[in-house]
Structure 1
Amino acid sequence: MFQKTAIPFPEGGIAVVFGAGGGIGRALVCQLQAGQNFKHVVGFSRASTPAIDLLIETTLKEAADFATSQGEIRLVLDATGFLHDDAHGPEKSWRELQPSHLARSFALNAIGPALIMKHVLPLLPRQGKSVFATLSAKLGSIGENRLGGWYSYRASKAALNQLVRTAAIELGRRRPDSICVALHPGTVDTGLTSPFNKTGLEVQSPDAAAGRLLAVIDRLSPGDSGGFLDHRGERLPW
């Protein structure tokens, strides 16, 4: 049962945001810095020092090592993600499937976040609340898929959800107070989604989305670990 009241983080910890250069990532960093839960906030992007590249594992390890040198890690947010680029958009039909686009989607939406987990989850404290949360998508829900299309994005986010679920089980054995979840931020007005925002969708600003996500994180308990939740704290079907 999802908690309706906040469960505080221990004092003195730090928060870490991977993907701090994106719309939601920047908003998360700003709101975390303005809050009182953490003594320090570390943001990583392709332009940070150290810089990260989801396709280069050594950069993710260097970032994790740098973060833990700054203090006790209590919150890690993975706000990375890939939907389209100038060469490829979401596939509407199996006729549009291309190995290169499938591979890129899995590399950035599943493998990269999995490697972040590999390097940050062992750094979480053994006692007291700590959270790893990655931004997934409702489109990654197999149970909710009634429209089809968007093959690469759907499949890579479904893979991410399975990776989170699996990592949460191992994390629970090693650090039972820690939490590992996948969060759906809703439709957010960023460069990732703006070409596909349609009239009738609830489109949030990055600031609004960040505020909702942080409110959900505040209410997470160990019983939520391994879950797939939306920005209202409601559970989504796998």
Structure 2
Amino acid sequence: MIIGSSGGIGSAICAALAARGTEVTGLSRSGHGLDVTDEASVAAHLGKLEGQYDLIFVATGALDIDGAQPEKSLKALTAKALADQFALNAIGPALVLKHAVRLLPRRDCAVFAALSARVGSIGDNRLGGWYSYRTAKAALNQILHGASVELARTHRALTVVALHPGTVETRFSADYADHNPTVSADAAAANLLQVIGGLKSADTGKFFDWQGREVPW
């Protein structure tokens, strides 16, 4: 199951899995009306699904919301920008996980992954700025880590991870690539699926980049 299946990375992951002959369920706001910031919407869409999924990947997110760009200083920080970033980038994936638990197998191996970002790492933050986005992604990381501890008691073969895709050539990051090397959405999808394919249950609760390297919290 790919949440955010109409986005750059989400659609590329759907296509890559389908090309392998994998049955894929995609859900998105533009294609299906799923609003991850609205719990009623999440509950309604996931509540219609049956069976078990060996991968649930949350590929939703945004850097600019309602025109609020990443802050360069504290002077640019607003309560609304913080709240909007939390709603989409932290609360949204948390609500998906809450309502998707019943769709995850209790005994068989499965992965719940969500797109995070290296800038959400507290230990790797050497530049400052980008307060709202950084903080929302850091919150997402904590949610996933906490959920990994809880779900290990009931889903012993489940791996819950945060993933950093690198700088991907999508509308999402077009204005912020700067001098960072970029990859296509198709390449990013292939990288992320390779990382997912190599995960073990002992990796639950961790944060990995697109090369499979662990990112500091």
Residue aligning to 2:56: 76
Residue aligning to 1:99: 79
2-side partners of 1:193 and 1:26: how far apart? 16
- Residue in structure 2 matching 1:222, options 188, 201, 211: 201
Residue aligning to 1:32: 17
Structure 1 contact 121–132 (Cα < 8 Å) conserved: no
Q: Percent identity?
A: 46
Residue aligning to 1:120: 100
C-alpha deviations, 1:130-186, integer Å up to 9, x for none? Answer: 110000000000000000110000000000000000000011001101111000000
**2:47 partner letter:** D
**Secondary structure at 1:181 match in 2:** strand
- Residue in structure 2 matching 1:52, options 34, 45, 48: 34
Deviation of the 1:217 alpha carbon? 0.5
- Residue in structure 2 matching 1:146, options 105, 112, 126: 126
- Residue in structure 1 matching 2:174, options 175, 194, 198: 194
Structure 1 vs Structure 2 CA RMSD? 1.1
**2:194 partner letter:** A
C-alpha deviations, 1:184-220, integer Å up to 9, x for none? Answer: 0000011111101112x12010000000000000111
1-side partners of 2:151 and 2:37: how far apart? 24
**Secondary structure at 1:47 match in 2:** helix
Residue aligning to 1:212: 191
**Secondary structure at 2:100 match in 1:** helix
Q: With the length of structure 2 as denominator, give the TM-score of the two structures.
A: 0.97
Q: Are residue 22 (structure 1) and residue 7 (structure 2) matched? A: yes
C-alpha deviations, 1:74-119, integer Å up to 9, x for none? Answer: 1100000121145210000000001111100000010111000101
Residue aligning to 1:41: 24
Deviates further, 94-103 or 79-88: 79-88
Deviation of the 1:56 alpha carbon? 1.2
**1:105 partner letter:** Q
**Secondary structure at 2:37 match in 1:** coil
Structure 1 spans left out of the alignment, 5+ residues:
1-15
The alignment of Structure 1 onto Structure 2 pairs a total of residues equal to 217
Q: With the length of structure 1 as denominator, give the TM-score of the two structures.
A: 0.88
- Residue in structure 1 matching 2:46, options 64, 68, 92: 64
2-side partners of 1:217 and 1:18: how far apart? 16
